[in-house]
Amino acid sequence: MNDTLSGRAEELARLTDLIRTSLSLADSAIPPINAQLDELAAMGLENLELEGPLVYSRSAGSSPALDDARVVYAAALIMPGGLGCTLWGADEHAERYGESYHEPPHLRERFVPYDKCPPIVRATLPAHAPNLLVQLLQSFSVLTR
């Protein structure tokens, strides 16, 4: 039993180190990017909502804002707003994205700015930010053609 607990403690320590390292990277990279995105939004590049993949899921706990048993966070880029995440009830997200003929969701009302995201969510964003930024740049190049 003690070997199992020691092994689990080591696994938890590795996970904690991984999250801490990823969070440090995120906290050094994302705020300067968001500052540039704020400048672009001030110049008129706005009304853009991009959502990336799901990055974290947890039980909803006793949140009065969500009816579902689980909540999910997805990487997002909102203009103005920058990089952050969207927050969904798991059932609502599955229902919304399971429909093949739905209108795109309004992400702004679900958007959580980077500095308000839970640390574990912030730690995941550098892996998804490049794709969201490419989508932003592609939408901008379409506008300039």
What is the structure's pLDDT at 12? 92
What is the structure's pLDDT at 103? 57
Determine the Cα–Cα distance for residues 64 and 59; give it in Å rounded to an integer: 13
DSSP 20-44: HHHHHHHHHHHHHHHHHHHHHHHTT
From residue 6, alpha-carbon distances to 11, 13, 19, 25, 59 in Å are: 9, 10, 20, 29, 27
Determine the Cα–Cα distance for residues 89 and 94; give it in Å rounded to an integer: 9
Report field, pTM of the whole predicted structure over 0.85:
no
For each of the chain's 145 residues, which pLDDT tens digit applies? 567 888 899 999 999 999 999 999 999 999 999 999 999 999 988 889 999 999 998 887 755 555 557 889 999 999 999 999 999 888 787 777 766 555 566 889 999 999 999 999 999 999 999 999 999 988 876 555 5
